[in-house]
Structure 1
Amino acid sequence: MLRVSIKFRRLRDRLMRCNAITLCIVLAIVTVTVVIRGLTNGDEDDWFKFSNEDISAPSDSVFFEGCIDTHEYLRDDQYQKMNASFVMLTRNEELNDVIKSVRSIEEHFNQWFQYPYVFLNDVPFSEEFQTRLRSESRASMEFGTLNKLDWEFPEKIRESFAFQHALNDQGDRGIMYGSEESYHKMCRFYSGLFYKHPLVQKFEWYWRLEPDVEFFCDITYDPFLEMARTNKKYGFTVILPELYWTVANLFRYTRSFIRQNELKVGSLWNLFTENYQILETEDSLLASRVNCDDDVEPRLSEKVAIDHMLDTGNPEDEMGLRYLIGRSKAKAPIQPDKFDDQEYNLCHFWSNFEIARVDVFNNELYNSYFQYLEEQGGFWRERWGDAPVHSLGLGMLLDIEDVHYFRDIGYRHSTIQHCPKNNLHGQLPYTPAEKRFSRHSWNSPSEGFETGTGCRCRCDRRKSDIEDTAFHCMDRWTELLLTDREPPINALEVEQRIKFDYLHSN
């Protein structure tokens, strides 16, 4: 089990909700501690790392620890191949990177399971592209072209001054990919249109791939089937924080959509939000002045002293007067990104890898959400990514139990990677389905660990695992799996205790 105490987590959440000065002080203390610890003890293994821990929970854990016999698995009478496909949006000029991705997923999974591929492009694929890719797999492949309306922004927007100004402004401010129109199009397409393509709609499940990705572990079971067996609807392998300025207003519009439609969100929503509903009270003024647990007693002490002075009518009540004057002069605390007592914590599933049911997005509610976001113009006014849009949409629709963390699947995209440790007792010899997937003797798996989950993973341990660098998001995921969410503090109970102490001290 995790060594991070629940008390530490709750303290962390209090600090995360407090004002910026408090947070800066805490970060400074942590930074100094890290520097001193690094100078006095260079052994980084002493530090807590999620990658060393068993984070399995009753509601979610890896389907198999280590390897299983794939040939026996496929021969089992209970095995049923699912109506599923890989999906990739790409371009002709990315052929070499696409081949690299296909070779990796074929070697580590699809050589045994033969799931089909769907490749999508905003222009027709070349004959060379199709021919070379078909030579990389025995699985069937389909190549589709996007409808212009699905790929392009509406003409009246595209030709407007506001559109070009927004992209230029994002570029000037250094927002990653903010000045690239094609990137905005890609994010918009994956946010709410990819699952409507006829080639995708033929399937019940999809596994998203990207050009130039790499898999590190053998996947010896069928993820689609195991998700269906366990009633999982969405699977991820990386969770990390988004860049703030790419989604500055996304949460505001999302909360507006929820409010307008009077939606009751799923429990997965808690993974992506900080909750400012600290107090259970009908006093709106009091609630607005409490933004973290550490605000509770000071604000209630202030209230008790003022109420006592007003109830007794004593104009010489020095403490009551001091509190009353102080409250009248105090500025209302402002949390600029707080809406309906909640704030987006920027965590999101990295959607360049996702295994999911097509209808987790292709449904009336999610389609309405996407259309609402489309009307706000955030896919071009800002640089809303499909990953945070997917994540917040899923948060509205799903419970935490509906989601699976594919912790045993090693994956790299760009500079970010997740590579699990091999399971110490769950390794089996590698048996390729085709000669071209044979491995040299030097291509041996990494060492095994008791808490490992991977099968024949080959990891570059010089690179950090995203589990250990995206600490806050991983911590929130495990916390929701392993602990119950704290209810709001009962303001009346705390006020009565403070009032008792106040009256007996005077």
Structure 2
Amino acid sequence: MSLPRGMRLLALLTLGLFVYLLVILFRSPSKLDTPTGFPKYQGDFRDPNYEPTGEPPEPLRRVDGDNYAPNNPKSARINATLLSLVRNEEVNDLLQSMRDLERTWNHKFNYPWLFINDKPFSEEFKRKTRAATKAEVRYEIVPEDHWAVPSWINDDLYHESVEILTEQNVQYMGKTSYHQMCRWNSGMFYHLPALQDVRYYWRVEPNVHFFCDVDYDVFAYMQDHNKTYGFTINLYDSPQSVATLWPETEKFIADHPEYLHKNNALDWVTDSATRPEHNLKAGGYSTCHFWSNFEVADMEFWRSPAYEDYFAHLDRAGGFFYERWGDAPVHSIALGLFEDKEKIHWFRDIGYQHIPFFNCPNSPKCKGCKTGVLTDGEPFLYKEDCRPSWFKYAGHG
């Protein structure tokens, strides 16, 4: 006896679903099966963060008894500080950054914090930040002459430039304070009186995240291994924001060829293979730069004649205001030209996020980020990663 029509349809649907599940289960993986967030790079680049990540080479200095205790007058701490340019209203975002860095690293080593503002810090800011660390905390105000718009900047030209570049979607172009901050971070901060006797700094911005336990003294690593600069993230910049930065740099190099280091990273600075449109719009500059919201650095480099002369040249050219030259490309070009590229270190073991980008290594010491994922934003953001170019020309550091 035949089955009713409804039952026959149900049987057919069940059989079809079963066959579909078998196909899904046994079919060969396709490119569409790539895990969410896996880097969609051109060529055969595979993010080294997918490989197991350990600590950098010895020697590494570690906590031994009370050698890094906060009040130990003979502590093993070297001449260094944590550094943050921050406003009063950013205190809660800063506390997020402090809690992460204290939990993963500084509660062991107790390096001092130095907070800097262009206005006096509020008592609320001081109370909350002091409560977030056992280490020494200091508060400084940017000198007025450091923050002021230079006298040689033409106000009419500045406002005309703002209008033009705002139409080209150059972010923050209309904020004078942003231009002032970029200039100060590029060539003024290390002249702060409170930093005159300090050599190394770790820059920490509000609302960033640190994911990995770090069990060695990061500053001592820089000193012991003769490193000048440490980064986590390496990106392309907006070429419209730095259109004349490289032409001005070429003028400077023509006048001072003696400053070029024989083991420089010029190929990285001028690479045109991966993003040729960037190189073209930026006058020969790749726009690659170390994302300076995270940087661990030796201020002796910024205080060197090469960098001081370079910054003075750029400052007079006016691009911090007429364009939007940031401290990241300025620092990066200078490092790429005037420093030994072997002295620039990728801190692959330090898990870090500044929205929307990550550095997330493959390590059991890391929690809260996804291994190897560059961004949790749109997939097109993967093309902003310049690490493949850095690794090509300079290695992993």
TM-score, normalising length from structure 1?
A: 0.62
Is 1:479 the equivalent of 2:388?
no
Q: Which is higher, the Rg of structure 1 or of structure 2?
A: 1
Cα offset for 1:172? 2.7
Aligned residues: percent identity? 35
Whole-angstrom distance in 1 between the partners of 2:242 and 2:57: 36
Cα offset for 1:233? 1.1
Is 1:228 the equivalent of 2:223?
yes
2:337 to 391, 396, 410: 396
Is 1:409 the equivalent of 2:350?
yes
The 3 A distance-change label for structure 1 pair 403 and 212 is: same
Residues 120-179 of structure 1, C-alpha deviations (whole Å, 9 max, x = no match): 111111122112211111111111111111112125637x22222222332232111111
Aligned to 1:251: 246
Aligned to 1:305: none
Aligned to 1:360: 301
Aligned to 2:369: 460
Whole-angstrom distance in 2 between the partners of 1:83 and 1:228: 10
The 3 A distance-change label for structure 1 pair 458 and 472 is: closer
Aligned to 2:192: 197
Residues 213-254 of structure 1, C-alpha deviations (whole Å, 9 max, x = no match): 110101110011111111111111111111111111101101
8 Å contact from structure 2 (residues 95, 132) kept in 1: yes
The 3 A distance-change label for structure 1 pair 163 and 140 is: same
Is 1:268 the equivalent of 2:181?
no
* Residue identity in the other structure for 1:458: K
SS in 1 for 2:84: strand
Aligned to 1:437: none
SS in 2 for 1:188: helix
Aligned to 2:122: 126
Residues 281-334 of structure 1, C-alpha deviations (whole Å, 9 max, x = no match): xxxxxxxxxxx9xxxxxxxxxxxxxxxxxxxxxxxxxxxxxxxxxxxxxxxxxx
Residues 249-286 of structure 1, C-alpha deviations (whole Å, 9 max, x = no match): 1011011100112235232233222389xxxxxxxxxx
1:136 to 132, 138, 143: 132
Residues 193-221 of structure 1, C-alpha deviations (whole Å, 9 max, x = no match): 01110112221110001011110101110
8 Å contact from structure 1 (residues 62, 405) kept in 2: no
Aligned to 2:147: 151
Whole-angstrom distance in 2 between the partners of 1:52 and 1:202: 36
1:91 to 81, 87, 90: 87
Whole-angstrom distance in 1 between the partners of 2:282 and 2:166: 27
Residues 79-124 of structure 1, C-alpha deviations (whole Å, 9 max, x = no match): 9321100111111111111111111111111101000011111111
1:111 to 107, 110, 115: 107
Cα offset for 1:191? 0.5
Residues 344-384 of structure 1, C-alpha deviations (whole Å, 9 max, x = no match): 11111011111011111112211111110011110011001
Aligned to 1:42: 32
Whole-angstrom distance in 1 between the partners of 2:186 and 2:292: 10
* Residue identity in the other structure for 2:34: E
* Residue identity in the other structure for 1:415: P
Whole-angstrom distance in 2 between the partners of 1:480 and 1:275: 13
* Residue identity in the other structure for 2:267: N
The 3 A distance-change label for structure 1 pair 172 and 275 is: closer
The 3 A distance-change label for structure 1 pair 227 and 351 is: same
8 Å contact from structure 1 (residues 257, 369) kept in 2: yes
The 3 A distance-change label for structure 1 pair 100 and 459 is: closer
8 Å contact from structure 1 (residues 411, 418) kept in 2: yes
The 3 A distance-change label for structure 1 pair 90 and 140 is: same
2:177 to 147, 163, 182: 182
The 3 A distance-change label for structure 1 pair 69 and 234 is: closer
The 3 A distance-change label for structure 1 pair 73 and 379 is: same
Whole-angstrom distance in 1 between the partners of 2:90 and 2:367: 26
Whole-angstrom distance in 2 between the partners of 1:93 and 1:275: 41
Cα offset for 1:399? 1.2
* Residue identity in the other structure for 1:63: P
Cα offset for 1:474? 1.6
Cα offset for 1:71? 4.4
Give the superposed CA RMSD: 3.2
SS in 1 for 2:172: coil
Whole-angstrom distance in 2 between the partners of 1:245 and 1:100: 33
Aligned to 1:504: none
Cα offset for 1:420? 0.9
* Residue identity in the other structure for 1:365: A
Cα offset for 1:55? 10
* Residue identity in the other structure for 1:404: H
8 Å contact from structure 1 (residues 265, 395) kept in 2: no
8 Å contact from structure 2 (residues 201, 296) kept in 1: yes
SS in 2 for 1:366: helix
Whole-angstrom distance in 2 between the partners of 1:154 and 1:479: 39
Whole-angstrom distance in 2 between the partners of 1:352 and 1:173: 24
8 Å contact from structure 1 (residues 120, 144) kept in 2: yes
Unaligned runs of 5+ in 2: 1-28, 69-74, 376-380
Unaligned runs of 5+ in 1: 1-38, 277-291, 293-334, 423-447, 449-455, 484-506
The 3 A distance-change label for structure 1 pair 102 and 232 is: same
SS in 1 for 2:391: helix
8 Å contact from structure 1 (residues 239, 470) kept in 2: no
Whole-angstrom distance in 2 between the partners of 1:155 and 1:261: 26
Aligned to 1:172: 167
